[in-house]
Amino acid sequence: MPAVVAVVEDLMFVSRIREAARGHALDIQTVRTAEDAVAAARAGARLVILDLDSRRLPVAAALAALRADPGLQGLPVVGFFSHVEAERGREAAEAGCTTVLPRSAFVARLDTILAAAAGSGGAGEPGSGT
């Protein structure tokens, strides 16, 4: 099964992502460090999901490490954030997030994002949601 790497600390969101991914035959691997995010991505991930609001996980470091790896620069990375933290979304887009979305839009588009990852060998949803 193709993998989705999730740098997400909220267990409710992990559960929601995992359940949606099951419908697309995607395996979710949650990671807690930048090094683990890169290792999981190198193992054949089709998509990385980042919780840009996480205070405990090194989300910015994970994004930087993913974008610094020449073999992963084309990997879709979707970040979601609280709508009141729009600056966080802009910063993530500038740092290399393929798509950044407010949390509500991420939830609404989750099935489409995962379908794109499952069906196209890694082509995530285009554009930025900021």
Q: How confident is the model at residue 2 (pLDDT cuts 50, 70, 90)?
A: low
Per-residue pLDDT of 85-110, as tens digits, reads 888 999 999 999 999 999 999 999 99
Rounded CA separation 83/104 (Å): 8
Cross-strand pairs, 48: 5, 77
The answer to whether domain 3-119 has CATH 1.10.10.410 is no
Per-residue pLDDT of 11-50, as tens digits, reads 999 999 999 999 999 999 999 999 999 999 999 999 999 9
Rounded CA separation 98/48 (Å): 10
Domain limits of the chain? 3-119
pTM score: 0.89
What pLDDT score was predicted for residue 122?
45
